[in-house]
């Protein structure tokens, strides 16, 4: 499976199986990439060394040449494996989310999942680039990386979207004739949730929600209209540097998606109870 946008549609079990297959393919691509990358480096330096010694020992020229040819062959194989090396959290977190939510999804009703398996620091996701002087540049990125639509067992329609927003401060410093690139990112995910509960007036939903969003999330916007609620929340800001990568728990993790849905659904449940008692 190549990096890029992939859509999965089918029953919950089928979508989970395809994500598990993507995980297995990604692990294989990681191993191939490591093998070909290390192989290219070893063969290159070995070839250069043997060719250097061939001035004194002539028969070493052929092995040296073969090593360099092998290094050249490994390079496109490395890039091919790299093109299939997915961002781990982009399949692990939807997989975690679906495995738990599966209990509340009809087993024979299709769901739709759209995932972008690329990382956000790419030209296609770049929103702005602002030079700040002193060799520093500020870049901003925006990447919609996950969408989910499905109907729950009680008939409610659920839609989720996760959009990654990042701001990178990039700098180049020259010391002793060597130029080093440094960067640090501030990253957050914005999660949009839409829930429609047919036949239930959600006008008083806000009053039924517990104070405070779960797992450190903050609210950006919330609208209730008839039997539908739409809301946008933001994850805590995470930091990423050349020496420190993001962890799945930093942003829109499967646990955060589940916690947000549960938080909303508990309020909907209180409304249902009040409506049934009034009826």
Shortest CA distance to 118 belongs to which of 149, 148, 141, 150? Answer: 141
Instruction: Report, in angstroms and rounded to the nearest whole number, the Rg of the chain calculated over CA atoms.
Output: 25
110 near 10, Cβ under 8 Å?
yes
Shortest CA distance to 190 belongs to which of 216, 213, 164? Answer: 164
- The CA distance from 195 to 264, in Å, is 9
CB atoms inside a 10 Å sphere around CB 143: 21
Q: What pLDDT score was predicted for residue 179?
A: 78
CB atoms inside a 10 Å sphere around CB 3: 19
> What pLDDT, in 10s, does the model give residues 17-57?
999 999 999 999 999 999 999 999 999 999 899 888 888 88
E strand spans, the chain? 5-10, 111-116, 126-133, 136-151, 157-175, 178-196, 218-225, 228-234, 238-241
Query: Residue 93: exposed, middle, or buried by beta-carbon count in 10 A (0-12, 13-18, 19+)?
Result: buried
Q: What pLDDT score was predicted for residue 93?
A: 96
Query: Residue 199: exposed, middle, or buried by beta-carbon count in 10 A (0-12, 13-18, 19+)?
Result: exposed
Shortest CA distance to 71 belongs to which of 33, 41, 31, 29? Answer: 41
Residue 9 φ then ψ, to 5°: -135, 130
137 near 100, Cβ under 8 Å?
no
Q: What pLDDT score was predicted for residue 278?
A: 66
> What pLDDT, in 10s, does the model give residues 238-278?
999 988 888 878 899 999 999 999 999 999 988 888 777 76
Which segments of the chain have a pLDDT < 50? none
Q: What pLDDT score was predicted for residue 51?
A: 86
């Amino acid at each position: 499976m190549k990096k890029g946008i992939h859509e999965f549609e089918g029953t919950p079990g089928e979508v989970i199986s395809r994500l598990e297959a993507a995980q297995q393919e990604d692990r294989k691509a990681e191993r191939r990439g490591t093998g070909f990358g290390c192989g290219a480096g070893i063969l290159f330096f070995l070839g250069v060394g043997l060719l250097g010694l061939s001035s004194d020992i002539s028969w070493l020229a052929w092995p040296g040449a073969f090593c360099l040819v092998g290094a050249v062959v490994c390079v496109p194989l490395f890039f091919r494996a790299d093109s299939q090396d997915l961002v781990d959290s982009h399949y692990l977190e939807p997989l975690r989310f679906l495995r738990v939510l599966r209990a509340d999804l009809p087993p024979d009703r299709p769901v739709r999942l759209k995932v972008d398996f690329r990382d956000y620091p790419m030209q296609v996701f770049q929103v702005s680039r602002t030079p700040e002087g002193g060799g520093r540049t500020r870049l901003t990125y925006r990447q919609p990386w996950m969408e989910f639509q499905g109907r729950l067992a009680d008939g409610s329609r659920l839609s989720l979207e996760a959009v990654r927003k990042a701001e990178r401060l990039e700098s180049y410093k020259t010391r002793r004739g060597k130029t080093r690139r440094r960067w640090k990112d501030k990253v957050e995910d914005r999660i949009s949730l839409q829930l429609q509960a047919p036949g239930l007036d959600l006008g008083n939903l806000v009053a039924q929600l517990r104070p405070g969003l779960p797992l450190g999330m903050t609210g950006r916007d919330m609208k209730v209209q008839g039997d539908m609620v739409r809301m946008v929340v933001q994850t805590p800001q995470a930091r990423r540097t050349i020496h420190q990568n993001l962890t799945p728990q930093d942003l829109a993790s499967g646990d955060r998606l589940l916690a947000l849905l549960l938080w909303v659904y508990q309020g909907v449940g209180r409304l249902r109870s009040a409506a049934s008692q009034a009826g």
